[in-house]
A and B are shown apart, each in its own frame.
Chain A
Amino acid sequence: MFPDWLAWVLLSDLFPWLLITLGAVFFLAGTAGLVRFPDLFSRLHALTKADNLGLGLICLGLAWHNKSPSVALKLLLIWLLVLLASAVSCHLIARYALHSDSKVWKQRHD
């Protein structure tokens, strides 16, 4: 049912660090998107999506590492709050941009 190697990975001290590293990679990707993407909307997309996932992974890793339910609950709360805040602020920024005719980048076919 439960392969031994999976149990070993999940229980080892290494696993939370794996999660945190993965989270950091997502942050990096999100930041790269923020810097490199061509217009405001795709930048917002990269920033909020990737960073939210990254933060979730980091929170999960920290909770795993700490092994305390109350800490895990707090971390979950932090993640949910950030999700909510980033969703709303992303929405507001995008709407403001839409209303003030911010340029939308289009792939040029030529």
Chain B
Amino acid sequence: MIEWLFDGLLAIGLLWLGWRTVVSAELFKAIVMFIVLGLFMALCWARLAAPDVALAEAAIGAGLIGALLLDAYRALVAERWQADDRNAKPLVAASLAILSSVLIGGLAWALLFSPEPVVDLNAQARARLADSGVGNPVTAVLLNFRGYDTLLEVGVLFLAWLGLWTVGEQESNSAATGAWVEDSDLLTALVRLLAPLGVLIGVYLLWAGANEPGGAFQAGTVLAAVGVLLRLSGRLRPELSPDLWVRFGVTVGLLVFSAIAVGVIPVGGNLLEYPGDWAGLLIVVIETSLMVSIALILTLLFIGSAGLRRGGS
């Protein structure tokens, strides 16, 4: 009973936040609602026994996307952008609402009559877990069973950085004219304390990921949080045009992962088929290099941010 109460409250919270995100009259409110929605999602993942996802969601979904959205919001306000924000007319909006409701109804109907799966992939994954080289089933799926997906996904991250480099600008908006908040003792103290602690937690998550919730993505995101903190407080000011070190950093994960993926072909037989006892070690090497690239790329996403500045202009 108490469980249903909790689930019910969680569901109502999710739906209400989702709804407010979509219908709030002001953009700023919508963004805040979305960030809170992210936190509720993390809670929901924890409730549904998905700690790996909860960790990633709290760091990425709520934290990083939230910061990115607020940053973009600030840039738009600073530019006084006359956005094309004509919303649909009431009649159109009503028909769209009906359309969406029909879609939700159809989905609910489909889910209600979902057949019982014949193939039990869960059991198969658990049965082969011992051969995967790691003890955390999610890590096993990500880096071994479905490692090919992850390899391509690292390509997506690399592309996000390339896209940023193509269309991004450095501290472009008018908000970037104010002075940096550098003289705050409290902020300095926070950075001094959090930066090493963040690095410690990141490395711990990487190391723990083999057998417990965690892994390269969670670790990379925590490191990126440190990077973003340094970036937003003006202590780290990377250039948009990357020097050789940055180029190396953003590609090292992809290079190491694909080199190992190909390198094991003569020994293991297939792409990404880690030979025997080497699986665990190779996965650690891959995850470490992935962590570096992920942390760097996620930090660089804030390259065009105005950062923490005094309220000028």
In the complex, A touching B (Cβ < 8 A): yes
Chain B interface, DSSP helix/strand/loop, else mixed = helix
Q: Is B190 in contact with chain A by the CB < 8 A criterion?
A: yes
In contact, B308 and A99 (Cβ under 8 angstroms): no
Task: Tell me the bound Cα distance from A97 to B311 in angstroms.
Answer: 8
On whether A100 and B311 interact (CB within 8 A), knowing A88-B186, A91-B184, A92-B181, the answer reads yes
Contact flags A91-102 to B (C-beta < 8 A → 1, else 0): 110011101100
In contact, A99 and B187 (Cβ under 8 angstroms): no
On whether A87 and B186 interact (CB within 8 A), knowing A92-B181, A95-B181, the answer reads yes
In contact, A92 and B311 (Cβ under 8 angstroms): no
Q: Is B193 in contact with chain A by the CB < 8 A criterion?
A: yes
In contact, B311 and A99 (Cβ under 8 angstroms): yes
In contact, A92 and B184 (Cβ under 8 angstroms): yes
Contact flags B176-212 to A (C-beta < 8 A → 1, else 0): 0000010010110110011001000000000000000
- In the complex, the chain A residue whose C-beta lies closest to that of B179 is A99
In contact, B190 and A85 (Cβ under 8 angstroms): yes
B190 proximity list for chain A (CB < 8 A)? 84-85, 88
A-B contact count (CB 8 A): 27
Task: Tell me the bound Cα distance from A87 to B190 in angstroms.
Answer: 9
In contact, A91 and B310 (Cβ under 8 angstroms): no
In contact, A92 and B193 (Cβ under 8 angstroms): no
A97 proximity list for chain B (CB < 8 A)? 311
Task: Tell me the bound Cα distance from A100 to B308 in angstroms.
Answer: 14
- In the complex, the chain B residue whose C-beta lies closest to that of A99 is B311
In contact, A96 and B186 (Cβ under 8 angstroms): no
How distant is A24 from chain B, measured CB to nearest CB, in Å? 13
In contact, A88 and B187 (Cβ under 8 angstroms): yes
Task: Tell me the bound Cα distance from A96 to B187 in angstroms.
Answer: 13
How distant is B305 from chain A, measured CB to nearest CB, in Å? 15
Task: Tell me the bound Cα distance from A84 to B197 in angstroms.
Answer: 13
In contact, A92 and B310 (Cβ under 8 angstroms): no
A87 proximity list for chain B (CB < 8 A)? 186
In contact, A99 and B186 (Cβ under 8 angstroms): no
Task: Tell me the bound Cα distance from A29 to B310 in angstroms.
Answer: 31
How distant is A41 from chain B, measured CB to nearest CB, in Å? 15
- A: residues with CB less than 8 A from B are 81, 84-85, 87-88, 91-92, 95-97, 99-100
**Can you list 13 residue pairs at the A/B interface with Cβ under 8 Å?**
A88-B186, A88-B190, A91-B184, A91-B186, A92-B184, A92-B187, A95-B181, A95-B310, A96-B310, A96-B311, A97-B311, A99-B311, A100-B311
